[in-house]
Chains A and B, each alone.
Chain A
């Protein structure tokens, strides 16, 4: 009887032991900073742009080094990506935007000068989190208010300031996280421009463009590099009071990863300054409107510009 009972308990403990092994074996393999990891994890947000850049990095790393790359996709915002780096859930963040990092992640006051903003962000990310921020890819993806061409004519809109007289009649569709953003969110916007909309609908950012095109919203807050601006022929309203800070885009990598690996450090520089705003819009357009996966778009871009043959465009 006792033997039989021990056997059962033994089976139970063994199962739990196997379970623990199984779970820890499946989790990320980068533990200590001195142990050379075999897999790098790239964190990307759910935007097409972030995924395209993420997959470009994946292709380059896997082609030029011995690392394998695992993607950690669809994170909701930069904050999540930074948290992923800090928690060692990821090693590289594919797209970090100066403005978002400055006021959001770092909690610093807004800074309109792009050079100053970049310097501050680079410095503080390294200081506080040991995150190394690379030079910009070459484009800035900024928040932009947009309207259909029809509405632009109807209400005579060229700049954001032009919305003031008619704002009380207009509904606006915005990214749900913009409502709560500090420094460059809705409340600060209302203070600077001196008006609020009739009603603001927060929604998943992917849905605002459709909302504008279907006439459900008269104004939307979208991203300047989105491919749908082209496909829906939307008009971007100029930010005449420079409310939105600069949002230059670059990659961020954990210091621990590149300190002991100068070769990887160099490889990650291959995309510096290579992607202009119009290039990014075009790439986004291919993914958003031409039914190509970001992974496919990224790969084709690199092939087209001879990255795999040692060239850099």
Chain B
């Protein structure tokens, strides 16, 4: 493709391989979402646990912090040795990296519920469980959303690395671009959708987060 400029090549590539790129895009997004959802299933309860029993704060957050500091390539490779090649490894990696933001934000959100609201709830005769479900969670949902948003953006980046262990996704296109002749256009075709996926996810979830914030807090945000 000597005669074409980088951008012309890019559009040519998309034109001829569109279905493939779309398949990889969907696969990439799905892997990222699965990991984060699983982390939410585990992390939100853990966050609730921590906000109730502050002595657990130390150990759980420390472990999650250490996981966070492990470079993602290292984590994915080590998981591969245990879980094998393929997308299950990346889903578990995404799960692990999503834990800290979700746990921390859940605990922080619950902790920041004003005592006034709690008192009002108790005054109405709510049980601890009702208090949690009807007062604390709704008031914290925006902060928890921030944690999920953070986690999903990071997960999209980790899934890109997953291509090195056979998980597929847009990383495959990026790798092909680095291996091909004048692969600049192919690198763009892989890197741009990945970047856009992350940026748009960040915007959309940021909007959701804002919408979920309780009315009084919205002005402060």
Contact = CB atoms under 8 A, between A and B. Distances in A.
Q: Do chains A and B touch in the complex (CB under 8 A)?
A: yes
Interface of A: 4, 7-8, 11-12, 14-16, 18-19, 22-23, 26-28, 41, 43, 46-48, 51, 70-75, 80, 84, 87-90, 204-207, 209-210, 227-228, 231-232, 287-296
Contacts of B175: 46, 74
Most chain A C-beta atoms within 10 Å of own C-beta, residue among B16, B46, B171, B176: B176
Nearest to B1: A291
Main SS at interface, chain A: helix
Nearest to A90: B85
Interface stretch (B148-156, B160-168, B211-219): B160-168
Contacts of B17: 291-293, 295-296
B: interface residue count bin: 35 or more
A22 B45 contact: no
B76 to A, nearest CB: 13
B25 interface: no
Contacts of A75: 85, 166
Contacts of B181: 209-210, 227-228, 231-232, 288-289
Contact of B85 (A16, A84, A287): A84
27 contacts: A4-B128, A8-B48, A11-B48, A11-B49, A15-B41, A15-B42, A15-B45, A16-B42, A19-B41, A22-B91, A27-B86, A27-B88, A43-B85, A46-B175, A48-B180, A72-B85, A72-B166, A74-B164, A80-B85, A87-B85, A90-B86, A206-B180, A288-B179, A289-B180, A292-B16, A293-B17, A294-B176
A293 B12 CA distance: 12
Contacts, number: 134
Most chain A C-beta atoms within 10 Å of own C-beta, residue among B42, B166, B176: B166
A9 B201 CA distance: 33
Contacts of B85: 43, 72, 75, 80, 84, 87, 89-90
Nearest to B164: A74
Contact of B88 (A28, A71, A74, A206): A28
Given A11-B49, A19-B41, 11 more contacts: A7-B129, A8-B52, A15-B42, A18-B38, A43-B166, A47-B179, A70-B168, A71-B168, A84-B84, A89-B86, A294-B176
Contact of B179 (A46, A84, A87, A232): A46
A287 B38 contact: no
Contact of B38 (A22, A51, A90, A209): A22
B136 interface: no
Contact of B84 (A11, A71, A89): A89
Contacts of B20: 293, 295-296
B79 to A, nearest CB: 11
A150 to B, nearest CB: 18
Most chain A C-beta atoms within 10 Å of own C-beta, residue among B46, B85, B185: B85
A291 B185 contact: yes
